[in-house]
Structure 1
Amino acid sequence: MSQHRVVLLLGSNLGDQKKNLELALHKISEAGNEISQTSDFLLTEPVEFVSSNIFCNIASVIFTHLSPIQLLDFIKNIEIEMGRIDDSKASGGYSDRIIDIDIIKYNNLIFKSERLEIPHQKHLFEREFSRILLKDFI
């Protein structure tokens, strides 16, 4: 099985945000994925919804054997394990969250389904905080 280079973006605006991000990265690594790079933390205002809770965000490059859909299922399970209740795709909007993990790039794959779009267009082209975090990873 070959290793796939994946860029992830993680965010949290509930509880101890930095600890939430570190725990999510630990869970990713613990499952046999190699974390090769991680950005500095970046504090940002919520995007596309109103909240008084500031986000802490981080970008990471991992190497994984998982397919894109397997990886999506894996990170969604981490979000649920950590207490995330509403998924923005399912609820149709954004809200405060303990953890959010997005797949930004997966090798040079271009992929689109109902559940997943790679590369992640909003993070690459529309969100300023994402461009700041991803500048050294893309």
Structure 2
Amino acid sequence: MSHNSVVLLLGSNINNPEKNIQVALEKLETNIGAILKNSELIISAPVEFDSINNFCNIAVKLKTQFSPIMLLKQLKMIEIEMGRVKDSSYFETYQDRIIDIDIILYNNIKFISKRLIIPHHKNLYERDFAKGLINEVK
């Protein structure tokens, strides 16, 4: 089986965000693959929507055997298990969230489908908080 190198960005801003990140990291290790490296955990203001709740964010690099689409399905399952039943695409706007897990990089490939675009352009190139975390684990 092949092992794929993946960079993920996690964020949470409600219901004890630091604990949510910790739970998500444990679920990633159990269900997705070994975490090789993680960035510092930072607090950041919401981006592209208004909220009184700041985010807790972390980036991780891990190895997985999942294809990009299967990885996305597994990540969505973790989000649902943690209480995020509907994501931003459902609401057509960003909202507070218990957990958000984005695929930023997957090996060195470019992947485009209706549900997934890799690399994740906004987090790699536009959002300063994300760029710093991602650079820590690349």
TM range (shorter): over 0.9
Matched ranges for 1:67-106 at <5 A:
67-106=67-106
1:24-35 alignment, distance < 5 Å: 24-31=24-31, 33-35=33-35
- Structure 1 runs not aligned, ≥5 long: none
Hey, which bits of structure 1, 4+ residues long, moved more than 2 A?
none
Unpaired runs of at least 5, structure 2? none
Percent of aligned pairs sharing the same letter: 51
* Aligned residue in 2 for 1:51: 51
Task: Give the TM-score, by structure 2 length.
Answer: 0.97
What's the counterpart of residue 114 of structure 1? Answer: 114
Higher mean C-alpha displacement, 57-66 vs 87-96: 87-96
Output the CA distance in 1 between the equivalents of 2:18 and 2:3: 28
Structure 1 match to 2:11? 11
More divergent stretch after superposition (82-91 vs 54-63) = 82-91
**What root-mean-square deviation, in Å, do the aligned CA atoms of Structure 1 and Structure 2 show?**
0.9
The offset of 1:18, in angstroms, is 1.0
Deviation at 1:89, TM superposition (A): 1.9
In structure 2, the CA distance between the partners of 1:34 and 1:126, relative to structure 1 (3 Å rule), is same
Between the two proteins, the alignment pairs up a number of residues equal to 138
Paired with 1:107 and 1:32, the residues of 2 have a C-alpha distance of 15
